[in-house]
Amino acid sequence: MTEPETARAAALLGQAPRVVVFTGAGMSAESGVPTFRDALTGLWQRYDPQALATPEAFHADPELVYGWYEWRRQTVRLAEPHAGHRAVAAIEKRVPQAVLVTQNVDDLHERAGSVAPLHLHGSLFAPRCSRCSHPVPVADDTTLEPTEGRRIPPPRCPRCAAPVRPGVVWFGEALPPEALEAAVEAAANCDLLLTVGTSGLVYPAAEIPQVAARRGATVIQINPLPTPLDEVSRVNLRGPAAQLLPALVRDAWHDPD
């Protein structure tokens, strides 16, 4: 990354009336959120996380799968949004037609001030009925130790009494159609798309920056390492989101801090 690249990206951002911010796992990792396979302890060391993230696994052993996701949710609760999350919220305030699209299942964007991010892969904080899909808010269990693996019986749906499942997208499931359609529409109509902390490998979500590029939008990428999105990005900034995003916001609108 060079100063001219940063200045160029900031100028492009400051001039764009319609902006999409697209975030991936690298954004959350900078807040200390374990990636899908990281920090496995206790009971979880005995299982392949990918094998737990399927409808079949939940049907076969709902207590095991629900416990795994409660562990993940409780772990996320200990993390805090970083300066990059707050910078994204600042972009949304500065650009009336800004849309935030995220692959992350945590609530760090919301806690940083983002109002209505489009969650392409669902959310750990939006459980729903496994049969009728009715949203079922679940109170936090403050006695649960995130570092301990536990089997936890899922609560029951108040409508149909079926077990409540985590509100995430499992392997073999389609992305939420409303969120995906809104994300594609935003990407197709934006002037600039800022992709942050995503590998560009997980489809169909990875298609979002490609849609923006095909429609003529400027794509700016923030990522410590090269990705397949390098080829469609007009500017590639190498480094952490927690440093680069606040700098972009500051320089784009000449904010003092």
151 marked among binding-site residues = no
> In this structure, are 87 and 206 located in the same domain?
yes
66 marked among binding-site residues = no
> In this structure, are 139 and 223 located in the same domain?
no
82, 109, 121, 254: the active-site residue: 121
- Of 137, 168, 199, the last residue of a domain is 168
105 marked among binding-site residues = yes
Rg of the chain's alpha carbons, rounded to an integer? 19
Domain count, the chain: 2
> In this structure, are 12 and 133 located in the same domain?
no
Mean pLDDT of the region 23-44:
76
Q: How many CB atoms lie within 10 A of CB 49?
A: 14
In the chain, pLDDT over 90 holds for what percent of residues?
75
> In this structure, are 132 and 106 located in the same domain?
no
Residue pair 84/100 in contact by the 8 Å Cβ criterion = no
> In this structure, are 21 and 139 located in the same domain?
no
Mean pLDDT of the region 24-37:
85
225 marked among binding-site residues = yes
pLDDT at 2 over 50: yes
Residue pair 242/15 in contact by the 8 Å Cβ criterion = no
Q: Which residue has the tokens 């902006």?
A: 19
- Burial grade of 92 (CB within 10 A; 0-12, 13-18, 19 or more): buried
> In this structure, are 104 and 221 located in the same domain?
yes
Mean pLDDT of the residues in the chain: 90
Residue pair 216/18 in contact by the 8 Å Cβ criterion = no
Local confidence band at 33 (pLDDT 50, 70, 90 cut-offs):
confident
> In this structure, are 135 and 242 located in the same domain?
no
- Of 135, 168, 201, the last residue of a domain is 168
d(CA 142, CA 146) in angstroms, rounded, equals 10
pLDDT at 1 over 50: no
Tell me the CATH number at 72. Answer: 3.30.1600.10
> In this structure, are 25 and 38 located in the same domain?
no
In the chain, pLDDT over 70 holds for what percent of residues?
90
103 marked among binding-site residues = yes
Range of the domain at 45: 34-78+123-168
> In this structure, are 68 and 136 located in the same domain?
yes
69 marked among binding-site residues = yes
pLDDT at 170 over 50: yes
> In this structure, are 99 and 139 located in the same domain?
no
Active site residue 119: no
> In this structure, are 210 and 134 located in the same domain?
no
Tell me the CATH number at 257. Answer: 3.40.50.1220
> In this structure, are 151 and 241 located in the same domain?
no
